[in-house]
Structure 1
């Protein structure tokens, strides 16, 4: 299995969703993230990170609130945002890097 570092440095852009089970906005975003994952298929990797179970990753990327999204392109953060986003907003951002 590839490490997180290897995955985000790859040629395929990676959308990382920092979330929590107890977070209402995170639950609102779940179906939207699933739609995005299905829409892009092999052109985009989607990784969900539970902030309660992965505090080290949350601290490393300075996640202060959930949901927080990071979009990586070849190891670099090309976009970062927190809160609820529409499918159209996410698609606009992702289309710039895919």
Structure 2
């Protein structure tokens, strides 16, 4: 299941866990961003409780997006134990993302 972050103060809690957390920075008006939603659902379903997938609306979390220097959309970032492990701007397919996340499980 994918979740949507709406509160920046929870960000530290979200990423400081011992399983990989895939963050998807998106906006509703960006076609590439919205095209990633079904892909992320597939990734979340495939990984189950081994990882988290969290969507972050840049329009509602501008401070966080600026802090992480998110420029292109979508921007995908994987954290584990509070540490950034991987980052990519642009679309990715589900199988590639699943493979990358499994490296950190």
Q: TM-score range by the shorter chain?
A: over 0.9
Aligned residues: 97
Unaligned runs of 5+ in 1: none
2:102 pairs with 1:95: yes
2:49 pairs with 1:12: no
* TM value normalised by structure 2: 0.88
Question: Residue 14 of structure 1: CA displacement?
Answer: 0.5
2:102 pairs with 1:83: no
* TM value normalised by structure 1: 0.94
The CA deviation string for residues 18-70 of structure 1, in whole angstroms up to 9 with x for no partner, is 00000111111110000001111111111111011110010111000110000
Question: Residue 89 of structure 1: CA displacement?
Answer: 1.3
Which sits farther off after the overlay, 16-25 or 2-11? 2-11
Query: After the TM superposition, which residues 66-81 of structure 1 pair with which residues of structure 2 at under 5 Å, given as runs?
Result: 66-81=73-88
The two structures, once aligned, show a CA RMSD in angstroms of: 1.2
